[in-house]
Chain A
Amino acid sequence: MNSASPLLRVNNLSHAFGNLLACSDISFELHSGEVLGVVGESGSGKTTLLNCLSARLMPTNGIVEYDLRDRGLTDIYALSEPERRFLLRTDWGVVMQNPRDGLRMGVSAGGNVGERLMAVGARHYGEIRGEAESWLSKVEMDLGRIDDAPKHFSGGMQQRLQIARNLVTKPRLIFMDEPTGGLDVSVQARLLDLLRGLVRELKLSAIIVTHDLAVARLLADRLMVMKDGKVVETGLTDQVLDDPHHPYTQLLVSSVLQV
């Protein structure tokens, strides 16, 4: 079915901060409908990689190609700045680890969702409002809070709002950096369940950075294990977790109780 060309193709991507090599020679393909998990210890380069992939940090080396609807696989860093911004607003979504970086804290919850629709050309107030409401209820937000600004929301509510804001334009590919990080366990479970449902229902492709192997097990079809900026092991999620080959992956898997 999707044996054809990939949605995203990454070739020999490296990124250095000064002489610190944060990502080193990373290549992979993501197919439509696939969810790729990126796991690894703190400082291994996961966020740097995600930023490079999502057109927000130009890699020092290598190519990131995305299957544009009208042009096919295209080098995203060869796009003009407005084209890249348009891509980020329409075909892509980026859920940041800290909701503060992904939301407009002074704008109402409804506005946070609605302004994304306006950015892709929606003008009819009633329709925008209706669509915003429908997304807020999808992420299980109390509609009574639609006119409140998220700065007083709990972490879990902010994260759910961020997800609604990113999914309202029906992106094909979504990037998430530790989507459940910093939330307590019961809130995490609810958010995970929500994400899992949305990914399936909308047939989303996603790249999810997490240090939590249980989250990876639940959400990702495939895993990429990073250490010191390098990908040390990749494969189907259950393969990597149940039959890890690289010493570092074995250590990672054996140091958690049961995933």
Chain B
Amino acid sequence: MTENQNQQPLIRVENLSKTFTLHVQGDARIPVFADLSLEVATGECVALYGPSGTGKSTLLRSLYANYKPGGGHVWVRHGDDWVDMATAAPHRVLEVRRETMGYVSQFLRVIPRVSARDIVAEPLHALGRDLEAARAKAEVLLERLNIPEAMWDLAPATFSGGEQQRVNIARGFAVDYPILLLDEPTASLDAGNRAVVVELIREAKARGSALVGIFHDDEVREAVADRIFDVEAGALAA
């Protein structure tokens, strides 16, 4: 917790708020958080904490600009610039996602007819790395995550939940993103594969990445997190 205190921040969340309004259900309002602030430094992993429904995933998705916050800012260090994901133009957000910020969602979104290898290689290839090199990196990750080689050429639509999850994790780690967001990456994994994910996270920290994650598994959380951020308290404290 202390070793990173003087490190420079890569993420600065300021006074973020999010309320859903469900127009198809009588305009019901679901306030999730308000006035939430958080900083994450290089080499640091922050675990979001709180009971089910407090808004952990909502916060993570807001950092990635998958959800649009109602107010506040999500500043991220993008090269030499600071970009506010809450207000940046779409093409700028896409650029940040391509180069700076990765996100491992809780479930893999399968792409029809695209092989596991290519799903993993895609983000690296999109960054300009040639296809063969991107595929080679993908294979290393799939191997580390114990996806049998015979499955690399298959589209993951038929994979088991845990296998899909591992493909998803491999995709998230294919690029050495300076910032990485993880939504329950180990939820459906066995102990052996959880250990691999812990290793991957530690390597990313050692490279200087800033990570924000949700880890239901206490053991995993303790193994990787430098700090815990209580979403409810964080929103109240500000």
Contact = CB atoms under 8 A, between A and B. Distances in A.
Interface of A: 1-3, 31, 34, 189-190, 192-193, 196, 200, 218, 221-222, 235-236, 238-239, 242-243, 245-247, 250-251, 254
B93 A236 contact: yes
Contacts of B92: 3
Contacts of B112: 189, 192-193, 218
A246 B65 CA distance: 17
Contacts of B66: 236, 238-239, 242-243
Contact of A243 (B68, B93, B111, B126): B68
B114 A193 contact: yes
Contacts of B114: 193
B90 A235 contact: yes
A66 B174 CA distance: 36
Given A3-B91, A218-B111, A221-B90, A239 B23 contact: no
A200 B91 contact: no
B85 to A, nearest CB: 10
Contacts of B65: 236, 239
A102 to B, nearest CB: 24
A242 B61 contact: yes
Given A190-B113, A200-B126, A243 B67 contact: yes
B90 A2 contact: no
A238 B21 CA distance: 18
Q: How large is the interface on B (under 10, 10 to 19, 20 to 34, 35 or more residues)?
A: 20 to 34
Given A189-B112, A239-B67, A239-B68, A247 B23 contact: yes
Q: Which 4 A-B residue pairs are closest in the complex by CB-CB distance?
A: A247-B23, A193-B113, A243-B67, A31-B91
Contacts of B20: 243
Interface of B: 20-24, 61, 65-68, 90-95, 111-114, 125-126
A186 to B, nearest CB: 10
A221 B65 CA distance: 13
Contacts of A34: 90-91, 94
A235 B86 CA distance: 12
B90 A251 contact: no
Q: Which of B65, B91, B93, B112 has the most CB of A within 10 A?
A: B91
A245 B68 contact: yes
A31 to B, nearest CB: 5
Contact of B90 (A196, A236, A242, A245): A236
A147 B52 CA distance: 62
B215 to A, nearest CB: 22
Nearest to B94: A221
24 contacts: A2-B91, A3-B92, A3-B95, A189-B112, A190-B113, A193-B111, A193-B112, A193-B113, A196-B111, A200-B126, A221-B91, A235-B68, A236-B93, A239-B66, A239-B67, A242-B61, A242-B66, A242-B67, A243-B66, A243-B68, A246-B23, A250-B22, A251-B23, A254-B24
B83 to A, nearest CB: 10
A189 to B, nearest CB: 5
A211 B65 CA distance: 24
A24 B233 CA distance: 46
B94 A236 contact: yes
A191 to B, nearest CB: 10
A200 B23 CA distance: 36
B24 A251 contact: yes
Contacts of B93: 236
A1 B95 contact: yes
Q: Which of A193, A196, A200, A236 has the most CB of B within 10 A?
A: A236
Given A2-B91, A235-B90, 8 more contacts: A2-B95, A3-B95, A221-B90, A235-B68, A239-B65, A250-B24, A251-B24, A254-B24
Nearest to A236: B90
A184 to B, nearest CB: 14
Contacts of B24: 247, 250-251, 254
A1 B92 CA distance: 9
